[in-house]
Amino acid sequence: MARDLAIDLGTANTLVYMKGRGIVLNEPSVIAVNRQTGEVLATGREAWQMIGRTPGYIVAVRPLRGGAITDFEIPERMIRLLLQRVGVSRFTRPKVVICVPSAITEVERRAVTDAARRAGAADAQLIEQPMAAAIGADLPIDEPIGNMVIDIGGGTSESAVISLGGIVALEAVRVGSFDIDASIQAYVRREHGIAIGERTAEEVKMAIGSAAETEDESQAEVRGRDLMTGLPRTVVLTPEEVRFAIDDTLTSIIDSVKRCLAKAPPELAQDFLVRGMYMVGGGGLLRGLPQRIEKETNVPVRMSEMPLEAVVMGAGHCIEHYDALKTMFMGARR
């Protein structure tokens, strides 16, 4: 008997919730493919470790970039492998709810649902990430109250105002924590003359990255390739430098939050001052980011209890109450 599934197909991580079982898979959204034969060599954590370290004939890629599908074949293969790994076969055909960025195009939506159906799903439905996040974060979205959720993912940042079971205002930008990493990479290249990989940039962000000054201002050693000599070199980065490097990226994320607040009807806007805005997604874990958003918007910001799992938990709830929540799926409202 097939167990229905909810999938958070994130730019950074993929999580799978199985009906009645909870989260059964949580790993990086990376797939390693042999360029010559087209075979999939690794997925998830194993493929993530290959990023930037592969020989010429192997390519380790993320199926989504900036919340968009760059190569339609890759997500399809990834979804097929995911379903196989959680026990879906041609004889067990589960219903699948997939969380996708709200900015996804019609063509991309169709590509994802078709991929899931071809991979063995009896029915595939899509739900916007902020909606799933609000359900997963346990916000009282069934009540006539303004609930605001900010989901900062790897490739997109989405803010949504939700009330009475539906999205009232939504704002999404294709900027996320990978863009923060890219800003660090660009800064180190420009100011220190060394090239670093995206994994190193992510490590720098996690070690000393912050959106506002913190109590712990320790420095970090960064190793890369000198652009002039081509030889390995080490430089020391300060948290202040990293804040400067990522400032423009953070500003565009915060500006999108402000635009979403501005779209909210006045009746709901007053609720935010009391209830605050809830942050989910890995990007929200950047030190000082909630405080900076709070300072710039004058609205309290609270972190969700499970920022990384909130989206898939919300989608999991939709799969547990599939019939009652059908109207929330992206196709149902068009």
* Smallest separation, CB 69 to other proteins (Å): 28
The radius of gyration of the chain from alpha carbons, rounded to an integer in Å, stands at 20
* Smallest separation, CB 131 to other proteins (Å): 10
Closest to 44 (Cα-Cα) out of 10, 4, 69, 17: 10
The residues with which 17 forms a beta bridge, in sequence order, are 6, 23
CB-wise, 107 or 324, nearer to other proteins? 324
CB-wise, 24 or 68, nearer to other proteins? 24
Pairing of strands 232-237, 220-226: antiparallel
* Smallest separation, CB 212 to other proteins (Å): 28
CB-wise, 281 or 316, nearer to other proteins? 316
User: How many Å apart are CA 330 and CA 128, to the nearest integer?
Assistant: 7
User: How many Å apart are CA 282 and CA 153, to the nearest integer?
Assistant: 6
Closest to 310 (Cα-Cα) out of 132, 141, 160, 150: 132
Exposed / middle / buried, residue 250 (Cβ in 10 Å: 0-12, 13-18, 19+): buried
* Smallest separation, CB 235 to other proteins (Å): 29
Binding interface with other proteins (CB under 8 A):
20-24, 45, 135, 138, 140-142, 164-165, 309, 313, 316-317, 320-321, 323-325, 327-328
CB-wise, 16 or 246, nearer to other proteins? 16
* Smallest separation, CB 58 to other proteins (Å): 24
- Backbone φ and ψ for 158, nearest 5 degrees, come out as -125, 135
In b/e form, how buried is each residue of 102-126, taking b as 16+ CB within 10 angstroms?
Answer: bbbeeebbebbbebbeebbbeebbb
CB-wise, 143 or 191, nearer to other proteins? 143
* Smallest separation, CB 320 to other proteins (Å): 6
* Smallest separation, CB 321 to other proteins (Å): 4
CB-wise, 131 or 257, nearer to other proteins? 131
User: How many Å apart are CA 29 and CA 9, to the nearest integer?
Assistant: 8
CB-wise, 28 or 224, nearer to other proteins? 28
Asked whether the beta carbons of 99 and 8 are under 8 A apart, the reply is yes
